[in-house]
């Protein structure tokens, strides 16, 4: 009797099993449907995407947005520009930290009015940290900066190794460029204002305006001169090492950082296999001049930021895991391995990390101030300085091929289309 009941029960097991499986399947299906509905998934409606498209999101009044405009190395490559980070604040202020080679193109892709990009802080004067200064200076002016470019940076042990010397000589290098533009365009943006501060200052304030405090302290890199920075605003703290060997100043003054960006050099084996360094040079550069990944991790374990950002390595499919695993030997906190166009939205409660999707075929962004008409007084002043009247000599002018017959109609067309007279400039020939 008992056996018969048991057999009957046993026969029911598969039926009960199927019923339970169906119920669970239905329940999961319901959950999934609810989840999809909550995400707004639909075959016809637009769906939210998890990336940042410049100029499509307001910055909240208490929010900081940081965009990597260069994360690479001194050797140039299309995939990564050299060091440059943009900090945007909810009070409207924007700051550039370093302007490494190739970063000017990244900045232009963000389509930010150039009047807003007038504050640059340089950590040290290696080309991969200020090599695109000329493009920001000249190109930024051509794309709408009508105010001087303001630059902050350290002194050197002698004047020739300081920021002011480097900027002065850059402007001097562009003498022909600047001469050729006088009297042709609005040249208010062709001015630089350099604030040089003592590279030995320890956590000293180098900028304090509009609730924003920027401090600097010494970095250890190559020779005397480099510095690291912090920017504090609205209870948020951004830190940028530029380049440095691990140091006690950073450990102390980067404490409490919300976003701590510190160099993290490519691992030594890759310096040998991919850069062609000898083992001796790779060990020296990869561990003594720069911060090795294992040492980066140790720094971050010391300061414990809300988000650690490693940059200054070529981030490829066959290098990233090595850098990551080496960092993880010494640090297990929040970590971003930076690449160009990585974006961090920082508030007191959250740090959102995304990639930006940007337009490459950009033109000038919107103007934040109207341009002035060209002023021939600019040309007169520079002519006097050069002791030569800016323009064409008779010798060069006489070499012009006469194409007046095809150019004159362009002026006539403009006059007709725009409804006012544009006289043909006979004087240029």
Shortest Å, Cβ 195 to Zn ion: 21
Task: Starting at the earlier edge strand, list the strands of the sheet with 236-240.
Answer: 204-209, 212-218, 227-233, 236-240, 259-263, 307-311, 335-337
Question: Considering beta carbons, is residue 80 or 182 the nearer one to Zn ion?
Answer: 80
Contact 236, 258 (CB under 8 A): yes
Shortest Å, Cβ 70 to Zn ion: 10
Q: How far is CA 108 from CA 127, 142, 152, 188, 410, in A?
A: 20, 12, 21, 20, 31
Q: Of 349, 186, 193, 325, give the one whose Cα is nearest residue 258.
A: 349
What H or E segment, with its residue span, contains residue 217?
strand 212-218
Binding residues for Zn ion (CB under 5 A): 126, 128, 243
End-to-end CA distance of the chain: 120
Shortest Å, Cβ 283 to Zn ion: 17
Which tokens belong to 176? 């022909």
Going 61 to 66 to 67 to 70, the CA torsion angle's sign is positive
Question: Considering beta carbons, is residue 126 or 145 the nearer one to Zn ion?
Answer: 126
Shortest Å, Cβ 314 to Zn ion: 12
Which tokens belong to 7? 């057999």
SS3 57: coil
C-alpha 75/C-alpha 90 separation (Å) is 35
Q: How far is CA 241 from CA 175, 218, 233, 236, 403, in A?
A: 33, 10, 18, 17, 56
Shortest Å, Cβ 123 to Zn ion: 8
Question: Considering beta carbons, is residue 102 or 365 the nearer one to Zn ion?
Answer: 102
Which tokens belong to 281? 């040079």
Contact 239, 300 (CB under 8 A): no
Question: Considering beta carbons, is residue 143 or 219 the nearer one to Zn ion?
Answer: 219
Shortest Å, Cβ 239 to Zn ion: 16
C-alpha 357/C-alpha 371 separation (Å) is 30
Question: Considering beta carbons, is residue 126 or 326 the nearer one to Zn ion?
Answer: 126
Shortest Å, Cβ 228 to Zn ion: 12
Which tokens belong to 155? 């002194």
Question: Considering beta carbons, is residue 126 or 379 the nearer one to Zn ion?
Answer: 126
Question: Considering beta carbons, is residue 128 or 294 the nearer one to Zn ion?
Answer: 128
Which tokens belong to 375? 């002023």
403: which strand partners? none
Shortest Å, Cβ 200 to Zn ion: 18
**Phi, psi for 313 (deg, rounded to 5):** -140, 150
Question: Considering beta carbons, is residue 287 or 304 the nearer one to Zn ion?
Answer: 287
Shortest Å, Cβ 74 to Zn ion: 6
CB atoms within 10 A of CB 329: 11
Question: Considering beta carbons, is residue 88 or 128 the nearer one to Zn ion?
Answer: 128
Question: Considering beta carbons, is residue 54 or 225 the nearer one to Zn ion?
Answer: 225
Question: Considering beta carbons, is residue 228 or 345 the nearer one to Zn ion?
Answer: 228
- For residue 23, the Cα-to-chain-centroid distance in whole angstroms is 53
Shortest Å, Cβ 377 to Zn ion: 41
Shortest Å, Cβ 127 to Zn ion: 9
- For residue 184, the Cα-to-chain-centroid distance in whole angstroms is 31
């Amino acid at each position: 009797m008992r056996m018969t009941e048991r057999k009957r029960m046993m026969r029911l097991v598969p039926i009960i099993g199927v019923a339970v499986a169906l119920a669970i399947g239905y329940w999961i299906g319901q959950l999934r449907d609810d989840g999809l509905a909550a995400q707004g998934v639909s075959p016809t409606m637009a769906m939210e995407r998890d990336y940042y498209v410049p100029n499509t999101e307001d910055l909240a009044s208490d929010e900081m947005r940081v965009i990597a405009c260069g994360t690479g190395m001194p050797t140039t490559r299309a995939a990564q520009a050299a060091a440059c980070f943009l900090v945007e604040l909810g009070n409207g202020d924007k700051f550039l930290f370093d302007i490494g080679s190739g970063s000017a193109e990244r900045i232009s892709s963000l389509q930010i009015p150039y009047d807003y990009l007038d504050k640059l802080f340089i950590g040290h004067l290696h080309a991969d940290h200020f090599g695109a200064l000329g493009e920001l200076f000249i190109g930024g002016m051509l794309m709408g900066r009508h105010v001087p470019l303001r630059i902050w940076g350290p002194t050197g042990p002698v004047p020739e190794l300081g920021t002011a010397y480097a900027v002065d000589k850059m402007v001097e290098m562009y003498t022909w460029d600047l001469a050729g533009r006088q009297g042709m365009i609005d040249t208010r943006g062709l001015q630089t204002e350099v604030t040089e501060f003592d590279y030995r200052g320890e956590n000293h304030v180098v900028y304090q305006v509009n609730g924003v405090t920027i401090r600097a302290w010494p970095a250890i890199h190559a020779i005397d001169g480099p510095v690291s920075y912090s920017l504090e605003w609205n209870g948020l703290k951004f830190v940028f090492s530029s380049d440095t060997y691990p140091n006690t100043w950073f450990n102390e003054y980067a404490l409490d950082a919300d976003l701590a960006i510190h160099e993290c050099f490519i691992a030594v084996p890759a310096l040998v296999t991919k850069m062609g360094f000898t083992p001796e040079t790779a060990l020296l550069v990869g561990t003594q001049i720069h911060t090795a990944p294992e040492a980066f991790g140790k720094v971050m374990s010391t300061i414990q930021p809300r988000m650690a950002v490693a940059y200054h390595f070529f981030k490829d499919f066959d290098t990233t895991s090595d850098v990551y695993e080496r960092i993880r030997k010494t640090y297990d906190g929040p970590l971003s391995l930076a690449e160009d166009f990585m974006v961090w939205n920082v508030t007191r409660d959250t740090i959102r990390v995304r990639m930006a999707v940007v337009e490459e075929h950009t033109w000038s962004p919107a103007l934040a101030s109207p341009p002035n008409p060209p002023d021939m007084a600019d040309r007169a002043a520079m002519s006097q300085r050069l002791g030569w009247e800016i323009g064409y000599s008779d010798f060069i002018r006489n070499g012009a091929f006469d194409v007046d017959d095809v150019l004159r109609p362009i002026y006539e067309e403009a006059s007709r289309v725009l409804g006012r007279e544009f006289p043909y400039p006979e004087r240029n020939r």
